Amino acid sequence: TKMSIEQRANIKFCFKLDKTFTETFQLMQQVYGDDCLSRGRVHEWTRFKNGREDINDDPHVGQAKFVITPESIEKVRDFLNIHPKSSLRFMEIELGMSKDSIHRILTEKLGYRKVCSHFVPHKLTGAISTIPRIRLIWHPVTFIYSENFICR
C-alpha cells in the first residue's frame, strides 16, 4: 500500500544515516504510531544494508490469481449449454481456466452445487428435491428424470 511504501522509504533513509534496526524501529513508532509496520516487517526491510535499493515488493512466486470477469462467467455458461455433463477437469482443459476458478464461477456466480456428481442450481423446490434421482443433467433449468415422470 501507499503507507507501507512510504515507511519503506523512511527505513531506507534511516539506513543511509547509519541508524541501527532498533533506532529505526523506535523512530518509525514515533512517526506512525499504531500505523507503524510491525517490528518483523521493519527488520525485514533492513535488507537495504545487503545492497537492496528498490523499496517496492519483490514479485511473488506462483500463478497469478485469476480474476472472475463477466466474460469468464459467460464462457462457462456457454460451455455448459453445449456440454452439460462436463466435469471440472474437462472444463479446465477445454476452457483454459483453473478448476478453482471454474468451481467458484459455478457455485458463487451461477448458483450451482454438486448433487449426485453433477452440478445443479442450489435451491431446488420441495417437490423437485424429493423425486428419486436417476440422472441429473447440467443445465440452468435442471431436468430431473424419473421412471414415469419428467419434472422441469
- CA–CA separation, 79 vs 33, rounded Å? 53
Domain with 22 in it:
5-50
pLDDT in tens, the chain (152 residues): 566 788 888 888 888 888 888 898 899 999 989 888 888 887 776 666 666 666 676 665 665 566 788 999 999 999 988 888 888 888 888 998 888 889 889 888 888 876 655 555 556 555 555 555 544 444 444 444 444 444 44
* Residue 62: strand, helix, or coil: coil
The pLDDT score that the predictor gives to residue 30 is 93
Q: How far apart are CA 59 and CA 50, in angstroms?
A: 18
pLDDT confidence of residue 75: 93
pTM above the 0.85 mark?
Answer: no
pLDDT of residue 72: 92
Which residue(s) pair with 118 in the sheet?
A: 115
**Cell 504510531, located at residue:** 33
Does 150 map to a domain?
no
Residue 34 in domain: yes
Please, where are the H alpha helices in the chain? 2-16, 21-32, 39-44, 70-82, 88-95, 99-104, 126-130
Q: What is the CATH number of the domain that holds 29?
A: 1.10.10
Domain count, the chain: 2
Q: Is residue 64 part of a domain?
A: no
Instruction: Retrieve residue 148's grid coordinates.
Output: 414415469
- CA angle 68-107-77, nearest 5°? 65
- Compute φ and ψ for 135, nearest 5 degrees: -150, 135
Please report whether residue 29 resides in a domain.
yes
Considering the domain architecture, whether residues 74 and 135 belong to the same structural domain is answered as yes
Name residues whose C-beta falls within 8 Å of residue 127's C-beta, 6 or more positions apart in sequence: 151
For residues 24 and 83, state if they share a domain.
no
74/45 same-domain check: no
